[in-house]
Amino acid sequence: MLARVHEAMRAAIRPGISTAELNAVGEDEIRRLGGVPNFKDYQGFPAAICISVNDVVVHGIPSEEIILKEGDIVSLDAGLIYKGWHSDAARTWGVGRISGENENLIADTKESFFEGLRMARAGNHLYDISAAIGYFAESRGRGVVRELTGHGIGRHLHEEPMIPNYEQKGRGILLVPGMTFAVEPMLTAGSEEIRQMPDGWTIRTADGSNAAHYENTILITQGEPEILTGQEGGY
């Protein structure tokens, strides 16, 4: 269901659309599919979708005043509740034709997720995922945001444990079948340092460099991990 929400929002991205309009597309699709937007009013967040443009890493508040333009990149972070269960996924897309630098940033962020996913197997440990993401990101010269992490997910949107996107001391908890996590690398084209805006939500890169975000809700199984919020080929 959440993959279909992302498909609807991606199809609506174009120069001239406001982030408020994109939020409406996402919320309408969530409700049309029979879900409930779990971000809306979560700890006071005023919208159904976090929409973060260019140097905004996460938690961008949709607004009629924020208009996408050719060459921008936009991160869409969305979640929904269905029959009491939460999902969470994020994608970063280009608006029209974007620079090669931005294309590479988006591609590296997505690939870092899949590097982590390869370690998401029963018998491995949680921080094996973190280390794999971090090693790949740093090998590409990306800033890895330290203060923001992935997380457990289930009956609640954010559950323990937290999943950093860089190597930790030790290996963390043992992974066993049935565990569900939201794994979400957030990488920058420059410094890993971030700053929070006065609205209490919007988080930007400290140096003004662009950022990208890629996330899926995943399930640990007896074999290969399962992506619950999309397909590896595209979403």
pLDDT digits (tens, 9 = 90+) for 179-225: 999 999 999 999 999 999 999 999 999 999 999 999 999 999 999 99
229 backbone φψ class: left, alpha, beta (φ>0; ψ -120 to 50)? alpha
Residue 125 counted as domain residue:
yes
Please answer whether residues 41 and 189 qualify as being in contact, where contact means their C-beta atoms are separated by less than 8 angstroms.
no
230, pLDDT greater than 90: no
CA–centroid distance for 29 within its chain: 18
Residue 102 counted as domain residue:
yes
Q: How many domains does the chain have?
A: 1
> Can you tell me whether residue 123 is helix, strand or coil?
coil
Mean pLDDT of 133-154: 98
Residue 232 counted as domain residue:
no
189 backbone φψ class: left, alpha, beta (φ>0; ψ -120 to 50)? alpha
Q: What distance in Å separates the CA atoms of residue 169 and residue 140, rounded to the nearest whole number? A: 22
pLDDT band at 71 (very low <50, low <70, confident <90, very high): very high
Residue 234 counted as domain residue:
no
Residue 122 counted as domain residue:
yes
The residue segments making up the domain with residue 35 are 2-227
E-assigned strands of the chain?
36-37, 49-53, 56-58, 73-82, 85-94, 143-144, 150-152, 159-163, 180-183, 186-188, 194-196, 203-205, 211-213, 216-219, 226-227
Mean pLDDT of 36-57: 98
CATH, residue 199:
3.90.230.10
Residue 69 counted as domain residue:
yes
For residue 213, what pLDDT is reported?
Answer: 98
156, pLDDT greater than 80: yes
Residue 183 counted as domain residue:
yes
Partners of 216 in the beta sheet? 183
Residue 44 counted as domain residue:
yes
